[in-house]
Structure 1
């Protein structure tokens, strides 16, 4: 395990910066004992949108003393793909991004779905609690089917919401960070918990949504930032690559720089990114650039991004040389998750009268 003073300093800097700049997600009076479940599918590298949308908030929640469970749902990759390409590599790189961003594996449980067999055993009784009609009209399922990369939609697709419900309920998470578009899915998880409690025994909490006002960053093409659209700046990008990608970002011909997300999405996205990295208001950044045009805007944004992410990237580069540490983080996290899942499964068996 690498424990040089350089890595320790870089990790502390990243965590402190994230904790200082992230919006407090819970009032101090409400930040008692809560267990939070969150995660990311291992389909590619995380990008700046992930950082400002979720990673930064996870570090903030961790700093508030909340118990953080981070699932890497590797089985879910094959819900919308015929095969899981480079899965092990993607899983390790997610752990790399988490640690580089400031998530502390001593306080957070990071694990893969496939390493916790009890999760799949919980799915069977959970599936019996929902109807085919409920699964079919779930917006998450509809969206995944519309964007499926499979030659034909598999039966696993319809279990997707229940799959995620098992991820949340196995550890009795009571808070789940979600965006507005994920609320219907969380409601299904609440339904599963409520129906199990009513039918068998009161075992599961009905998890609440932890809504964040995290900003929505667009890709360099001013469309949705996505791993698969080649329009994102990954956390692992170096400064030269960041500069190249931002130079090619979509703007518009108007030389006067203003923050107007509805009418100038490309320009406004760069202003927002620059402002987030500087801890400022995007209107203020726009006013300072004034008539400088897109060239000054892109240069300002590039400098802000590279400055802000320099400690994270240094930490990430160092961690990347110690793949054994990443695997040990997963091993330890999966062991903790298995202990929790086995206890929950024992409770479920007792409640259902099975062995």
Structure 2
């Protein structure tokens, strides 16, 4: 599949002029329609998703986004998974072992079931034509629009550096290039990422208006909103690579048991699911429920008054059983570095071919194809 042909179904803008902006309410209303269309015509969609190579992926990532990538792939949606290695160049600790971090991400994706025969796993830095789209895209946005982006504003507010790098400042346009180089028309995101996708839609719309000569060079991608559950880390705060409170997909059964045993709970012996007043206990119940394909309330009812120790045993057994097949696949793939590197090399080749075709089309539209 080299291009996405827009149809009234997948293209929100074509079917609803008011859908040019992706407010939260509009995106939520659109989501049910998109899910129905994906089930009906998966071949009409191309998804771009991915991660920054800053460490091993964990259970929060898996239940938040990773399992949905495999679901979409298995439905027949074309999946592009970007490893955004350029986006960590300002992080010295990560950049010093970038190859290792990239390979860990590839391993995690293979382990969860991303199939390199059906999906494309590639690195940002290996696709020169993708990055060449940055310049015309930057010409379509203002400094004020970049300043208003919530992620950029947050980075400026919380940066421990004396100044925010140009790389971070232009990150939303980098992301637009990531999405549009392969003409993705569906992007799985959380609600907090809608402003990023809105800027991508704005860039696509402005490029089409300025250079399209009556036809759409780029789709305006839709947001496929995630209903991802919030899983807390073992310390009761958001599960995060950087906080050291996560259970990674690569952890073995013993390490998983140790981490869950040390997880924060409370002093109440009767186990109930109440996220508002018992967030740590409720997060553990939710984790067990996700692994067991049950509700948190059902898991809580089984444990009843047996206390936190019984809760942790239940969670440990559920997580270890759920992750066992993924861990087995990960171990197998880790022993075959040749296959690992071939997967990435072939993914990079496919991504480059796609990006080259898009850049050729862009140059023709801009009358700069000499």
TM-score where L is the length of structure 2? 0.87
Q: Tell me, in whole angstroms, the C-alpha distance in 2 between the residues paired with 1:79 and 1:168.
A: 22
Aligned counterpart in structure 2 of residue 138 of structure 1, from 129, 133, 149 = 149
Q: Tell me, in whole angstroms, the C-alpha distance in 2 between the residues paired with 1:120 and 1:187.
A: 20
Give the structure 1 partner of residue 106 of structure 2.
95
Contact 1:82 1:151 in 2 (8 A): no
Give the structure 2 partner of residue 173 of structure 1.
184
Compute the displacement of 1:324 (Å).
1.5
Q: Secondary structure at the match of 2:345?
A: helix
Gaps of 5+ in 1: 1-22
RMSD between aligned residues: 1.7
Q: Secondary structure at the match of 2:48?
A: strand
Give the structure 2 partner of residue 235 of structure 1.
249
Q: Tell me, in whole angstroms, the C-alpha distance in 2 between the residues paired with 1:254 and 1:133.
A: 51
Aligned pair count?
A: 333
Aligned counterpart in structure 1 of residue 356 of structure 2, from 337, 342, 354 = 342
Compute the displacement of 1:25 (Å).
7.9
Q: Secondary structure at the match of 1:136?
A: helix
Q: Secondary structure at the match of 2:306?
A: helix
Give the structure 2 partner of residue 317 of structure 1.
331
Give the structure 1 partner of residue 40 of structure 2.
29
Q: How does 1:78-157 map to 2 (within 5 A)?
A: 78-79=89-90, 84-148=95-159, 150=161, 152-157=163-168
Cα gap change, 1:232/1:38 in structure 2, threshold over 3 Å: closer, same or farther?
Answer: same
Contact 1:81 1:149 in 2 (8 A): no
Compute the displacement of 1:146 (Å).
3.5
Q: Tell me, in whole angstroms, the C-alpha distance in 2 between the residues paired with 1:292 and 1:82.
A: 44
Q: Tell me, in whole angstroms, the C-alpha distance in 1 between the residues paired with 2:218 and 2:49.
A: 17
Q: Secondary structure at the match of 1:205?
A: coil
Compute the displacement of 1:94 (Å).
0.4
Gaps of 5+ in 2: 1-31
Q: Tell me, in whole angstroms, the C-alpha distance in 2 between the residues paired with 1:130 and 1:279.
A: 45
Q: Tell me, in whole angstroms, the C-alpha distance in 1 between the residues paired with 2:159 and 2:250.
A: 27
Contact 1:82 1:149 in 2 (8 A): no
Contact 1:177 1:209 in 2 (8 A): yes
Q: How does 1:256-335 map to 2 (within 5 A)?
A: 256-335=270-349
Q: Tell me, in whole angstroms, the C-alpha distance in 2 between the residues paired with 1:25 and 1:218.
A: 29
- What per-residue deviation string (whole Å, max 9, x for no partner) do you get for residues 65-120 of structure 1? 00000000100112566871311101001000000000100000000000000111
Contact 1:79 1:160 in 2 (8 A): no
Aligned counterpart in structure 1 of residue 210 of structure 2, from 192, 196, 199 = 199
Cα gap change, 1:24/1:313 in structure 2, threshold over 3 Å: closer, same or farther?
Answer: farther
Contact 1:81 1:148 in 2 (8 A): no
**In the alignment, structure 1 residue 247 sits paired with structure 2 residue 261:** yes
**In the alignment, structure 1 residue 72 sits paired with structure 2 residue 83:** yes
Compute the displacement of 1:150 (Å).
4.2
Aligned counterpart in structure 1 of residue 55 of structure 2, from 18, 37, 44 = 44
Q: Tell me, in whole angstroms, the C-alpha distance in 2 between the residues paired with 1:194 and 1:302.
A: 49
Contact 2:122 2:344 in 1 (8 A): yes
Aligned counterpart in structure 2 of residue 60 of structure 1, from 42, 50, 71 = 71
Q: Secondary structure at the match of 2:224?
A: strand
Q: Secondary structure at the match of 1:177?
A: strand
Cα gap change, 1:317/1:51 in structure 2, threshold over 3 Å: closer, same or farther?
Answer: same
Compute the displacement of 1:237 (Å).
0.3
TM-score where L is the length of structure 1? 0.91
Compute the displacement of 1:26 (Å).
2.5
Cα gap change, 1:153/1:81 in structure 2, threshold over 3 Å: closer, same or farther?
Answer: farther
Give the structure 2 partner of residue 216 of structure 1.
230
